Amino acid sequence: MSALPERPITILIAALGGEGGGVLAEWLVDAAVAQGFPVQSTSIPGVSQRTGATTYYVEIYPVRAEELGGRRPVLALTPSPGNIDVMVASELIEAGRAMQNGFVSPERTTLIASTHRIFATSEKMQMGDGRYDSGKVLVAAKPLAKKTILSDMAQIAQQAGTIINTVLYGAVVGSGALPLSKEACEAAIRKSGKAVESSLKGFELGYACARGEAVPGQPAPEKPAPNVVPAEWVRSKFPAPIQDVLALGVTRLTDYQDSAYANLYLERLAPVLVVERQAGGEAEGFPVTRETARQLALWMSYEDVIRVADLKTRRDRFERVRQEAGVEADQPHAIVEYLKPGVEEIADILPPAWAAWLRRRAEASGWQPDPEGGLEVKTTTVAGFLMLKAMSRLRPFRRASSRYAEEQALIERWLAAIREHAAKDREAAPEIADCARLIKGYGDTHRRGRGNFVRIFETLIEGKAGTPGLAARVRAARDAALADAEGKNLAETLTGTRSSSIAGAKGQTVVFMPRPAQASAPETQESSASR
């Protein structure tokens, strides 16, 4: 008998919930069993809210059992760094985690990963752009792996009308790293009996992608946004270099509220353009007006429960969820919305007087929302859908709400400062416009961001036009606020002191208590305190 391989082929799969990582592992096991290879698989559950993936570990001994003379290989239950032959990641940062943890090595690992992103909780929690740098992962992949197969496999799966595990399965088989035949792997899909045709289509596309026979998965061209206002009206008021941003802003705000609200958007930008043109901004393509237009469109379409309800009840949203979940047209499914409205969210959509009364009552009673509570609304039922749809119909009353009044007042202060600084300090004006990035979300997120914005505005911006070095100071303060939601970095940046001297910090007296006296070792109060 010829010498047997010293070790099995090891495969580690990292997939997020709902992506079929377990089914992918089962297909590999079924294909290996069908061809007579000894195989073993285990799984390690991940955690919720996109803080980690569930991993599946498969070992295949590349010699058929009938050739082993009754002997059986010893297969491991868990992966070990440096000993993975095939690393499969259903998302790019999961591939980065695998590389960081040592599961990808240049001596033996074939890295197969989708390049699309599903943002982690730690990325979403940041006040600013908390996204990890995908480029660093892509750059590190080639030198760290023996072979790389990287493509947007989520897009390929969407084109095939399936979920990503089928495309990853095809890429694994197409990589040539396993002793499994294509026919046996296709038979494993047929054996499962679920969504066979679409799964085979996804498998075929992934197989072709891995072998370089085709490059599928390119994003389809986006549909042009509807022309919600006459194009000639936009062109008559604003120059060509900023018309693309204006078109997007008008579309967004018309969808958010109505055409009158989009008109207000353009009316607010016109004075900014006049000031910048007088200051010579035309030669640079009107950077202040462009950045103001971008941030203003986002700010004016602030999030509230009306907006959330509107987005959750749109037809295209139901279609997107169905496609992402791989649900066939004739398959029953349910969509459950988890809502936790607090006092602020309710007060935001009430008239100012009513909102003030509600906040006073909540503060007096000490009412706090139950962290474990909330609403579970099935929007795939008539009652659940109508509940959210009725809430979205409150859009005409948004202009009378307390949140609307607060946001519009702060927007006008911000625009006035931009106009003032654009006339005197063209470097500071774009930095001030960019401070609108601090205003986002609702509830605690909005409250913290708004507080940081107001602090920067009142300390550095309002009434400070023409101050030397203002642009750098505003930029540093904004970056500090975006990096730390609690505001400690911002306080240090504004005051130039360490966090221990933050204004408003409360001191606390430290009291040293003597230990009870013991006969064997009496202690005085002084000696006890000295410790």
pLDDT by residue, tens only, the chain of 531 residues: 567 888 999 999 998 877 888 899 999 999 999 999 999 999 877 654 444 578 899 999 999 998 888 888 999 999 999 999 999 999 898 899 899 999 999 999 999 999 988 877 767 666 666 777 788 888 889 899 999 999 999 888 887 888 899 999 999 999 999 999 999 999 999 998 888 898 899 999 999 988 887 544 444 334 434 444 445 667 677 888 899 999 899 989 999 999 889 989 999 998 999 898 888 888 888 999 999 999 999 999 998 889 989 999 998 888 888 877 777 777 888 888 887 777 888 888 899 999 898 888 888 887 666 655 667 888 889 998 999 899 899 999 999 999 999 999 999 999 999 999 888 888 899 999 999 998 887 677 888 888 899 999 899 998 887 788 899 999 999 988 888 767 778 888 887 654 443 444 445 555 555 655 544 443 333 333 333
Place of tokens 């950045």: 291
For the stretch 95-110, what's the b/e string if a residue is b when 16 or more beta carbons lie within 10 angstroms of its beta carbon? bbbbbeeebbbeebbb
Whole-structure pTM value: 0.59
Angle of CA points 71, 75, 79, to nearest 5°: 165
CA nearest neighbour of 210 among 180, 157, 167: 167
Instruction: Report helix, strand and coil shares of the chain as percent, to nearest 5.
Output: 55, 10, 40
Element (H, E) at 337: strand 336-339
292 and 269 in contact (C-beta within 8 Å)? yes
* Domain 9-211, CATH among 3.40.920.10, 1.10.490.20, 3.40.50.970, 3.30.540.10: 3.40.920.10
Give the separation between CA 228 and CA 250, rounded to whole angstroms: 7
- DSSP letter for 459, please: I
> Which residues in the chain are classed under CATH 3.40.920.10?
9-211
Token pair belonging to 440: 């986002």
Contacts of residue 59, defined as CB under 8 A and 6 or more positions apart, other chains included, come to 8, 9, 10, 11, 39, 40, 41, 75, 76
Question: Torsion angle of alpha carbons 382, 384, 390, 393, nearest 10°?
Answer: -100
Give the separation between CA 151 and CA 39, rounded to whole angstroms: 28
List C-alpha distances in Å: 238 to 8, 235, 515.
67, 5, 77
Which residue stretches of 313-381 are H helix? 315-325, 343-348, 352-365
Burial class (CB in 10 A: 0-12, 13-18, 19+), 228: middle
Identify the pLDDT of residue 373.
Answer: 60
Element (H, E) at 100: helix 92-100
Counting every residue, how long is the chain?
Answer: 531
Give the separation between CA 178 and CA 112, rounded to whole angstroms: 13
- Helices and strands in the chain, H and E counts: 23, 8
Identify the pLDDT of residue 499.
Answer: 45
Write out pLDDT tens, residues 354-394: 989 888 888 888 766 665 566 788 888 999 899 989 989 99
Identify the pLDDT of residue 129.
Answer: 66
Write out pLDDT tens, residues 431-473: 999 999 988 876 778 888 888 999 998 999 988 877 888 999 9
Token pair belonging to 478: 């904004």
Give the separation between CA 68 and CA 97, rounded to whole angstroms: 37
Angle of CA points 517, 521, 525, to nearest 5°: 45
Query: Inter-axis angle of helices 196-211 and 182-192, to 10 degrees?
Result: 160
